[in-house]
């Protein structure tokens, strides 16, 4: 596994819109606020043209998004790339991305949600670590949450022990000023699902090479020419694979079908276990809970499963390193994770 050079003072952070861009004054203020935060910390920010464009959910067409991403790879002063926001249509740029150029000049790439399409593909196709973490818009809040500070430390090369947060924000909050912070409103409580024979009085511990992202996007990749998942998990089979997954708006029915598809496609061979983030917009037409949906497909694998973890759309979230060895412990509704870069 190749880990890009750590972020150092004086190097630039590049921002590009691989999916949706910004198109309101509130968005622009938040962008400028994020730039100011990083600049004060010693990291100049360069922004591609498409970040301040958004037409029907797209910052630009697929070829343009791929071109502007590569501009940041060609800039020797850029050490890390953070996507502006999520969206729906990142997959449109994948056919135009020059992955050979990325392999020749690896850099940290970070984002979440729709950015999964790029991150997962880079890691599984090229064996380059990526970060499933905050989009750039999160860094525009007036006062950074500790999860953002941890995110930066990990970009800087620190081995941070990330511990579950006391509270989380349960859903989207409209922005009025552009400087809004997270709104902690519900208690964090991880749910441990022990496999048969596991001592439930002890902590649930998972160890393996981490890979994952947003399920809504991963399902679009299955069976395409960008799907090198089986080759990836085979290369790292001795480490075992720790899957981290979360969903945006999958229903119970779609979640069951989706996990079944990934299982039958062979993605979960060599798995050490699963950790699921808090679902953003889960709903059901069959009175099926999220736990029931997950167990109906993954239960027969007899592997540890953790639900409601600090990953994904309901902030704050951990910074997950795609491709790194993860050591995760969960007990009593709380947990922690640390990554080893080997």
pLDDT digits (tens, 9 = 90+) for 202-215: 999 999 999 999 99
The residue among 159, 184, 204 that closes a domain is 159
What is the number of other CB atoms lying within 10 angstroms of the CB of residue 278?
A: 25
Residues 153 and 263 in one domain: no
Residues 51 and 146 in one domain: yes
Residues 215 and 119 in one domain: no
Helix axes 290-298, 252-264, angle to 10 degrees: 20
pLDDT digits (tens, 9 = 90+) for 135-165: 999 999 999 999 999 999 999 999 999 999 9
Residue 60 belongs to a domain with what CATH number?
A: 3.40.50.10740
pLDDT at residue 49, rounded to an integer: 98
110 lies in a domain?
yes
pLDDT at residue 10, rounded to an integer: 96
Alpha-carbon distance values, 231 to 26, 223, 289 (Å):
43, 13, 33
pLDDT at residue 213, rounded to an integer: 98
Q: What is the mean pLDDT of the chain?
A: 97
Contacts of 25 (CB under 8 A, 6+ apart): 178
1 lies in a domain?
no
Domain that holds residue 258: 163-340
Give the residue among 274, 265, 258 at the shortest CA–CA distance from 227: 265
Residues 187 and 277 in one domain: yes
Facing residues of 80 across strands? 13, 108
Residues 291 and 332 in one domain: yes
- Asked if residues 175 and 137 have their Cβ atoms less than 8 Å apart, the reply is no
The residue among 139, 159, 179 that closes a domain is 159
Residues 65 and 174 in one domain: no
Respond yes or no on whether the N-terminal peptide bond of residue 316 is cis (omega within 30° of 0).
Answer: yes
Residues 144 and 215 in one domain: no
Facing residues of 327 across strands? 207, 338
Place of tokens 């060895």: 325
Q: What is the reported pTM?
A: 0.97
pLDDT at residue 308, rounded to an integer: 98
The residue among 100, 131, 159 that closes a domain is 159
Residues 168 and 244 in one domain: yes
| Run of H or E residues at 185 | none
Facing residues of 244 across strands? 212, 275
Residues 311 and 202 in one domain: yes
- Asked if residues 162 and 304 have their Cβ atoms less than 8 Å apart, the reply is no
Q: What is the DSSP letter of 322?
A: E
The total number of structural domains in the chain stands at 2
Facing residues of 192 across strands? 306
Ranges of residues in the chain with a pLDDT under 70 are none
Contacts of 103 (CB under 8 A, 6+ apart): 126, 128
Residue 167 belongs to a domain with what CATH number?
A: 3.50.30.60
Residues 236 and 153 in one domain: no
Facing residues of 11 across strands? none
């Amino acid at each position: 596994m190749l880990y890009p050079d750590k972020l150092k003072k004086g190097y630039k952070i590049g921002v590009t819109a691989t999916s949706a861009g910004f198109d309101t004054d509130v968005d622009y203020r938040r962008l400028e606020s994020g730039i100011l935060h990083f600049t004060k910390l010693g990291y100049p920010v360069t922004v591609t043209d498409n970040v301040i464009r958004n037409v029907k959910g797209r910052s630009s067409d697929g070829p343009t998004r791929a071109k502007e991403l590569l501009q940041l790879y060609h800039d020797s002063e850029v050490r890390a790339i953070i996507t502006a926001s999520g969206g729906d249509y990142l997959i449109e740029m994948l056919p135009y991305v020059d992955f050979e150029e990325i392999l020749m000049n690896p850099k940290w790439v970070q984002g979440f949600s729709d950015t999964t399409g790029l991150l997962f593909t880079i890691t599984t196709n090229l064996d380059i670590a990526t970060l499933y973490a905050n989009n750039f818009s999160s860094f525009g809040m007036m006062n950074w949450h500790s999860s953002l500070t941890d995110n930066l430390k990990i970009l800087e090369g620190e081995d941070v022990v990330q511990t579950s947060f006391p509270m989380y924000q349960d859903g989207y909050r409209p922005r009025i000023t552009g400087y809004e912070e997270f709104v902690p409103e519900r208690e964090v409580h991880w749910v441990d699902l022990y496999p048969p024979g596991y001592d439930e009085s002890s902590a649930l511990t998972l160890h393996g090479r981490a890979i994952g992202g947003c399920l809504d996007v991963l399902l679009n990749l299955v069976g395409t020419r960008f799907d090198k998942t089986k080759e990836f998990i085979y290369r790292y089979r001795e480490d075992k694979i720790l899957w981290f997954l979360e969903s945006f708006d999958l229903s119970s029915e779609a979640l069951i079908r989706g996990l079944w598809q990934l299982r039958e496609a062979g993605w979960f061979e060599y798995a050490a276990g699963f950790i699921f983030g808090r679902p953003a917009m889960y709903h059901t037409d069959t009175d099926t809970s999220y736990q029931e949906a997950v167990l109906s497909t993954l239960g027969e694998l007899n592997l540890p499963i953790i639900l409601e973890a600090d990953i994904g759309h309901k902030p704050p979230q951990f910074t997950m390193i795609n491709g790194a060895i993860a050591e995760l412990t969960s007990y009593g509704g709380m947990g922690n994770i640390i990554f080893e870069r080997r």
